[in-house]
Each structure stands twice: as structure tokens, then as C-alpha cells.
Chains A and B, each alone.
Chain A
Amino acid sequence: MSSASIEEVANYADRENWPADTRVRAYALATRPVQLDEWRSFLDQNLLAGGSLAFLCGATLFVSAHWHLLGAYGKFILCDLLLLGLALSAWRAGLDRPQSRWALTVAGGLVGAILGLYSQTYPSDRPAYLFFLLWGGLILPWTLLTRFEPAWALWVIIGNGAMISAELDPNLVGMANLGWWLLAVRFRGRWGWPQLPMVFSWLWLTGVGLTSVFSKDDPVALGCWLLWLIVTTAYAYRTRMKGTLAALGFSLILMITAGLLRAMGRWNEMSWLLILGVAVTVQVALLIWALRRMPE
């Protein structure tokens, strides 16, 4: 937990009914004068962030301003040198350092830039999804090696990019993300970062489910959504992943509300608006009550 603000301390004091002298002392602790070492740390972090950002922006602007002067080989050599530099610095420093893992993640992004540059320099009729497939395939080994969440986030985004550009059925995209989520939670750390595939599968499957309820009446979409809900709820309940259960519960609430909306939309009276508002409130309250009662 990060530093408590005076507002958090005041709210806690209200809940616990602290006497006046305890409050005064607590407020003084929460807002005690900032010492020299804290100011040093503040200047250190902000000057580093500001200086690095200004330098990187300047360097990027410099390269952009002179990009047209570089020939094709010059551009490739520049990108390759940058990639090699990042990879070598990560190898020298050792993989257990966060800076090395960030360097390899940025290098993974650069692989996409180099592939993009190749496609731009030597255009062809290759389908777009091949670009993403090649990118994801090339960086998979070192993503597995780094065991770093931002690297996995990049890989999952590339994977979804490949599926979108291949114009795959959204149900398949959602189920693929479900598969990645299951791998990530089962082999946590080694096979990815669970949150991002969960977010993508939520968006895809809830989206197609809602579209099916409102217009398409697609049983496959509803079936995929239901399967996703059952599998993820069962796993999340067993492992007490309350945040995931909250997200799944909200998806269920949206689907029920969409169903009610479609059913009641045939009414000419406006009282259905009031009923829906109350229905949502009751469902969310029940879900919060259930999550609070669930043991840790």
C-alpha cells in the first residue's frame, strides 16, 4: 500500500471514532514536513524522468527530421543497431534486473518496427496478419525467457492484432484469449500475464453476446459467452480471484439487463426505464454482497 493521504486518515478516523488528540497526532503524521532525503528522492526521480523523456524526444525528433536522408540500408542498420544495443545491455546486466526486462520488451517492439520498415521498403501483396504472426513468433522465445508482464502484454496485443487482421470470428478471438488466460493463471509468470487476456476475452465475448441479444440472435455467440462465463467463474471461484469474479458478474448483469431491455422495449410506457434502473441496482448490490461474504 502506498503513503496514506490525510483524507484517507480522516476517513479511517471517522470510521473508528477516534478521539480528538489521536486525530491531531494522526493528521500531523500524515502531513509531517518533507525531509531532505525525501526531497532528494523527489528531485532524483523527477529529474531522471524529465531528463530521459526530453532526451528521448529530442533524439526521436532528430532521427525523424533526418529520416528521409537515410537510405533503405541506413534505416535498417539504425534499427538493428538499436535492437542489438538493447539486447546486449540486457544480457550484460542480467535478466533478473527490471531494466533488462524493460530493454528486452522495448526490443520486442522494435522487431515490429523493423518488420514494418521491411514491408514499407519492399511492398507486396502479403496479407496483414502474416506481419503480426511473424512478429509474435519471433519474440515468443524471449518473452518466455523474460517472464515479464509488460512483455506478455505486448505479445497478447500482437496476438489479438493477428486475429483481427485475419478477420477471424470474434467468438474465436474471445475463446483464444480465454485459452491464453487459462495458460497464464495455470503457469503464472511463465506463460503470461492473466489480466490482459481476461480483459480482451471480456470485451470480445460480452460484446458479441450483447450484439446477439439486441439484434443477431446468434446462438453460437451466446454459447461461447456462456462457456466463457462458466469456465472462468469456476476457476476464479476455486482460487478466490474476487476481482475476476466482479468482472464476470458485471458481464452477467449487462447480459440480463440487455435481455430485459429487449423484452421491455416493446412497451409504450416509460415505466420500463424505472424498472430497469431498479433491476440494475438490485443486481449489482447482490453481487457486491456475495463478493464481500466470500471467504478470502
Chain B
Amino acid sequence: MKLESILATLHEEGFLPEAGVSQAARPTVWYLRVLAGLGAWLATLFLVFFWALLASESFGLGCFLGLAQCLAAGLLASRTRHEMLHQVSLSLWLTGTCLMASCFEKQFHLEPLGLGVMLLLMSVPYPESQGRFLTALAGALLLLVGGEEAVPLDVWVGPLALLAGFHYLNQTPLWWRGLGPRTATFAGVAVLTMLAALCSSFWGWSKHPAGPSSTALLTLACLWLSSRVLRRLQVGAAISLVCWMGLLAVGGLTFNSPGVMGAVAVLLVARESRSRWLTAMGWIYLLTFGSAYFYNLNLDANAKSLTLMALGGLLLWLRRRLTGPA
């Protein structure tokens, strides 16, 4: 539903005195956001060098400057709605966290695990979503890199999928309780971290790549979600069976490549939660792992091309079967 439709419905039901979108509360147009973002980052480019030159003298000074910037950014972010100040607070926040992270790393020789935990903890209280997301993402990726020697990537996939699924399938109660902004951040980080973990598994960058157990877990998640949706929509047994068999077939054929089932899971959650961002991520997953899967198939070009054309034909036939006239 568009914002105008939601407001119109609220007005009809007596929750709002007027149906129109308030000009003052209307989101800033995209070109002003881009302008503010570019301007803030250009200013930060100069300021970062200034602070870095000042802070190179001592650990204490670097930490103090980093902390001061982070606090200033937090205060600014929580009190302003002006686009330019919002971007200034974002660039101050990122400069501050980079400064603190590099000071701690130099002084205490922190490993990626330690830095990752530090960044994740720092991101939790930050009031603004973009800054919180970027810092948490950096922390999560550092944890992934730092932990991959000891912890197989299969162990990561389950909790990340659970975290993302928990937020996206329970948005209303989470936003109502005021937890929505933070769970949204960490759910988004979970989706991107899972993408990174599956990519590193597929391209052999990790010692303990994710494999069949992750595929099995993601397939089970898809089966559970599809059952929930099919039960709610009271769809007939034949269609339900086709959906389940299709999911099992995809899981079976891509058993050693969990990324493909990851893509299916993300797309299903995206549709069920009405998240445009998650839909875009699902397509990134699908294009990345789908093409990588076919590229690595042990077939010659002729056979691959015929397989792709057959797959295309099957999907188009399924489309006609599932969505055609009853």
C-alpha cells in the first residue's frame, strides 16, 4: 500500500483528521538526499585527514577525538531531521568509529574477532539507522573473517537466517515495541553477512565452507515458510504439492551450493514481508549463485545451454500452470 492509501484508510477509519500527506513530513526528494550525502562525504574527506594527522600523535588523543566525534554524531542524529545535518552526523560517526577502531587495533593488536565485537557493540546504541547499519555490517564481516578458522561457515548460516527471518516475519510487534529500528538493522546485516559467507564458501575463500547442511537447513526453512503461506491462503493440495516438490527438487539439485536455496528463501521472505530491499537482495543472491552454479556445472557448453533453455521453458510453463486462468 502506498503512503497515500494508508493515510486515506486511517482517515476513513477515524484515526486521522485529514487524508493527505503532510508537506512537512513528506520524505526528502531523492536529489536533495544525494546532494546532502555527496556534500557531507566530500567535507568528511578533508576532515578525516585533519583528524588523522592530529590523532597520529597518541593513542589517548586518537581515542578522545574518535569518541568525541561518535558522541557528537549520536547527539546530532537523534535531534535533527535536516538532510544535510543528518549526513554530517553520519560522516562524523563513521570517521569516529574508524579512528577508534584503528587506535585500538594499533595499541592492543586486536584481531578481527575483537574488532568485530567492538564495532557491533558500538553500533547498538547509535540512534540513526544508516550509521548503525554500516558499523554493524563492518563488525559482522570482521567476525566472519576472524572466526572462519575455528568455526565452519555452516554454523553461521542457521543463526543468520533465523535472525533475518525473525525480524521480517514479525515486523508489526517489533516496530510497535520500539525495537523495529534495531532489529531491522541487524536483520539487514544478517542477510548481507549470509551472502558474504555463502560467496566465500562458493569461491573457496574459506577453510570450512558452507555445504549440504546449510542447503538442508535453508530448504527446511523454505518448506516451513511456504507451508505457512499456503495454509493461510487455503490453497489446494495439488498446488501445495507442486510447490513443495519444486523446493525439494531445487534443494536436491543444488545440494552442494547453498546459495541458490538462500536466494529462494530470501525471495520468499521478501514477498511475505513486503520488503523491497529484501526483494532486491534476493535477486542479487539468485543472479550471483545461479550463474556461479551453472558456470561450475561439469558439462560442456552445448549441454549447459540446452539445460538453461530447458530450465527457462520449465519456469515459463510453471508460470502458466500456477498463475494462468483457473
Contact = CB atoms under 8 A, between A and B. Distances in A.
Chains A and B are bound partners: yes
Interface of A: 1-12, 15-16, 21-36, 38-44, 46-48, 50-62, 64-66, 242-243, 246-247, 249-250, 253, 257, 270-271, 273-274, 276-278, 280-281, 283-285, 287-288, 291-292
B171 A6 contact: yes
B241 interface: no
B312 A31 contact: no
A74 to B, nearest CB: 17
Report which residue of B40, B171, B307, B318 has the largest number of chain A beta carbons within 10 angstroms of its beta carbon: B171
Contacts of A284: 35-36, 38-40, 42-43, 84
A5 B46 CA distance: 36
A47 B243 CA distance: 13
Interface in B6-63: 6, 9-10, 13, 15-16, 22, 24-25, 27, 29, 31-32, 34-36, 38-40, 42-47, 49-50, 53-54
B304 A61 contact: yes
B308 interface: yes
Contacts of B40: 281, 284
Given A46-B267, A281-B39, A39 B312 contact: no
Interface stretch (B111-119, B155-163, B229-237): B229-237
A288 B315 contact: no
Contacts of B81: 15
Report which residue of B27, B29, B276, B312 has the largest number of chain A beta carbons within 10 angstroms of its beta carbon: B312
Contact of B50 (A5, A36, A250, A270): A270
Report which residue of A9, A16, A31 has the largest number of chain B beta carbons within 10 angstroms of its beta carbon: A31
A55 B313 contact: yes
A46 B319 CA distance: 9
Nearest to A261: B46
30 contacts: A1-B2, A11-B27, A12-B25, A15-B22, A15-B24, A15-B81, A22-B15, A27-B171, A30-B1, A33-B232, A35-B233, A38-B271, A47-B316, A47-B318, A50-B312, A51-B318, A54-B308, A57-B308, A58-B304, A58-B312, A59-B305, A60-B305, A61-B301, A62-B305, A62-B306, A66-B302, A242-B31, A274-B46, A277-B50, A280-B43
B199 interface: no
A51 B15 contact: no
Contact of A242 (B29, B43, B267, B274): B29
Report which residue of A23, A66, A257, A284 has the largest number of chain B beta carbons within 10 angstroms of its beta carbon: A284
Q: How many B residues are at the interface, by size bracket?
A: 35 or more
* Chain A contact residues, majority secondary structure: helix
Contact of A56 (B13, B54, B312): B312
A54 B16 CA distance: 48
A55 B39 CA distance: 44
A273 B233 contact: no
Nearest to B301: A65
A42 B229 CA distance: 13
A5 B15 contact: no
B151 interface: no
A291 B83 CA distance: 13
B323 A8 contact: no
A31 B273 CA distance: 7
Report which residue of B10, B29, B308 has the largest number of chain A beta carbons within 10 angstroms of its beta carbon: B308
B43 to A, nearest CB: 4
A276 B16 CA distance: 47
A267 B47 CA distance: 16
A47 B321 CA distance: 11
Contacts of A65: 300-302, 305
A240 to B, nearest CB: 13
Contacts of B310: 58
Given A15-B25, A26-B10, A62-B306, A249 B35 contact: yes
B171 A9 contact: no
Given A242-B31, A253-B42, A284-B39, 12 more contacts: A9-B3, A12-B3, A29-B9, A30-B274, A51-B313, A55-B313, A58-B304, A58-B310, A64-B301, A253-B39, A284-B84, A287-B35
Given A1-B3, A33-B232, A273-B46, A6 B323 contact: no
B4 A1 contact: yes
B68 interface: no
A67 B49 CA distance: 54
B176 interface: yes
A276 B22 CA distance: 37
Report which residue of B22, B83, B88, B175 has the largest number of chain A beta carbons within 10 angstroms of its beta carbon: B175
Contact of B274 (A3, A40, A54, A288): A3
B272 interface: yes
Interface string B277-315: 100000000100000000000001110111111111111
